[in-house]
Amino acid sequence: MLAITAYGHPILKKVGEEIEKDYPGLDKLIDDMYETMYNSRGVGLAAQQINRPIRLFVIDASPYAEEFEEAKDFKKVFINARITSLEGEEWEMEEGCLSVPGINEFVKRHETIRITYQDQDFATHEEEYSGMLSRIIQHEYDHTEGIVFVERLPQLKKMLLKRKLKDISNGISPAEYKMIYPRKKSRR
């Protein structure tokens, strides 16, 4: 289990750097990210959330399979991803984030994306996603661009969440998994 960086941690603001095939311990890192994600009941996890400023995220959307057909058996690693277009109407859905425990808010996102990325063998893919997968990918992709979902909320909503967000940064959080807090030593 890796510790997850909490809201306010400076690494969550870092735009990820591209990595090469020889990135040290990449396969182990990806395995550890999946394990950490499953243990904390997430459907996605980005490198910034485990304290690495690189362009890497993992997704397993299967918990949404009943509600969203496209989520069935969707498990994927995205390396050096770039979203090349956002299309279709924006729609709202409630999102949460392992770095922001206890906060769930409606976020507007585009229906369809086109994305280029490399897989774990560094083969390049260009794909299009819609619906729930598009949403999950956009959320994780945002992390690699230094953006946490609460930063996409309307100003008033952000103001109302200010206290809660500050608490999380200070280590007051309902998370049952290990976290790295920016203003508190990590729990052992």
How many residues bind Ni ion, per CB under 5 A?
1
Q: Is the dihedral of CA 2, 49, 165, 102 positive or negative?
A: negative
State the pairing for strand pair 4-5/179-180.
Answer: parallel
Task: Give the Cα separation of 59 and 65 in Å (integer).
Answer: 13
Residue whose beta carbon is closest to Ni ion = 97
Shorter beta-carbon distance to Ni ion: residue 7 or 129: 7
In three-state secondary structure terms, 137 is helix
> What amino acid occupies position 161?
L
Shorter beta-carbon distance to Ni ion: residue 12 or 26: 12
Least CB distance from residue 142 to Ni ion, whole Å? 8
Binding piece for Ni ion, criterion CB under 5 A, among 29-37, 67-75, 89-97, 175-183: 89-97
Closest CA to 4 of 26, 23, 35, 16: 35
> What contacts 78, CB < 8 A, 6 or more positions away?
56, 57, 58, 59, 115, 117, 137, 140, 141
Binding piece for Ni ion, criterion CB under 5 A, among 64-72, 97-105, 115-123, 152-160: 97-105
Residue 103 interacting with Ni ion (CB under 5 A): no
Shorter beta-carbon distance to Ni ion: residue 1 or 21: 1
Active site residue 126: no
Residue 38 phi/psi, 5-degree rounding, is: -65, -40
Residue 71 interacting with Ni ion (CB under 5 A): no
Residue from 37, 79, 97, 136 binding Ni ion (CB under 5 A): 97
Active-site annotation holder among 140, 145, 151, 176: 140
List interacting residues with Ni ion (CB under 5 A).
Answer: 97
Catalytic residues: 140
